[in-house]
Copies of this chain bind each other. A is one copy, B any other.
Amino acid sequence: NEDENAIATAPDGRSAAFGSGTGANDERSSTYFRRLYLTLKGKAYGWSYKFEPDFAGNSTNNGVATGSSNSSRDIAFQDIYISHALGSGDVFIGQMKPFRGMEELTSSNDITLMERPFASAAGTYGGGSSREFQEGIFYKADIRDFLVGASFFDLRRDNTRPTEGIGYNGRVVYAPLHADGKVLHLGLSYSDENPQTNGNDGSDDNIGSAAAYAGRRGPTVVLGTTKDGDHARTLGVEVASEFGAAEVQAEYMLQTVGQGDGARDQDIPAWYVQASYFLTGESRPYKKGEGVFGQPKPASSSHGAVELALRYDHAENKDSNAGCDVAIPASTGANPLPATTVAATHCEASLITAGVNWYVNPAVRFMFDYLKGENDRGFAKDKPQAFTARAQFAF
């Protein structure tokens, strides 16, 4: 009986966050819609809910559609949960991100550069199926200078196979300074995932790390994955600080992927250092209840705010004797090359990203990033470059 309790539905359409990406080696240029959210959230009888389909899905993201000329679209939900206060915090039932790191948990509307760092689910959980959002039970509490989060989840997202294993995760943040413009943030997280490998339908649900070292339409090196359904264990460390218009943050993630009975585990460390500065003097607001930075309102309503940002990313697997595969997407242009996979004897990638963000107003942001990556394949070096732009409308 739906009508009696029609309370507080807040349709919150983030209309479009799209971008034109000029691909690596100037050969993979295209435009695409990166995110097309429709967010519904509300509250009824002390319970909250959030319902957020992303109509852009996975298929358009990585530059090579699965089908032929008309590829079917993949709807991948972001948050889908109901939540209720419990003790000093809130419990969430449904799908959301486990608490695996600072930039990982920052909304895509607020991230400083267009791509998340290697040391986030995009990289550290990028070696297998999408492990960014998971179905389970989550708890988060904001207590004085601390923030604690715990997750227990099925290793699946709403649009992936139903039986992929189980994981748990915890995160503690200590933020002795947490005023806007004066922040000191220290974080520690740990995750343990136990994937199930149901090879019966031809799929492989192992977990592992990858590095897209020239953005979303460039090449990706798969640094290593679990074998035979062995555990993946990931330790994360976060340090961030803001002084007025300047902000510096760094994260380190060490993922250990089990290789099955009798075989030695492999360690895959990934880390980044990122600095950003508002030429127009704003400070990113610090969201104490989430342990992440948000997006400032421009001080000037006429010309908006301008931010410069720089990041260095690095990820490596020294324990792999078999080397690493590098996936290179199809190129475009006059004589296009097909998508290929190249075997590298060495497993290491790094990436420098420099960006300029123009916050026109609180709803509209334009981003411009230059990326220069390096992959030492052992026998040769791949140094792709990319220039990307993004127009974002969110409210």
Contacts and interface: CB of A to CB of B under 8 A. Distances in A.
B32 A70 contact: no
Contacts of A75: 55, 73, 75
A332 interface: yes
Interface string A67-97: 0111111111100111000000000011100
Given A1-B110, A13-B51, A82-B393, A32 B364 contact: no
Interface string A44-70: 111101110101111110011100111
A161 B18 contact: no
The majority secondary structure among interface residues of chain A is loop
A30 B110 CA distance: 33
Nearest to A66: B72
A49 B13 CA distance: 10
Interface in A123-176: 128-130, 135-136, 154, 156, 158-163
A262 interface: no
A320 interface: no
A163 B40 contact: no
Contact of A200 (B42, B51, B95, B337): B337
Contact of A162 (B30, B42, B361, B391): B30
Given A1-B295, A9-B12, A73 B70 contact: no
Given A33-B80, A82-B391, A69 B203 contact: yes
A294 interface: yes
Interface string A7-25: 1011111111010100000
Nearest to A130: B70
B47 A80 contact: no
B40 A13 contact: yes
A160 B74 contact: no
A333 B217 CA distance: 36
Given A2-B394, A82-B16, A330 B200 contact: yes
Contacts of A288: none
A38 interface: yes
Contacts of A65: 160-162, 201
B69 A161 contact: yes
A69 B207 CA distance: 12
Given A162-B64, A336-B198, A336-B200, A156 B362 contact: no
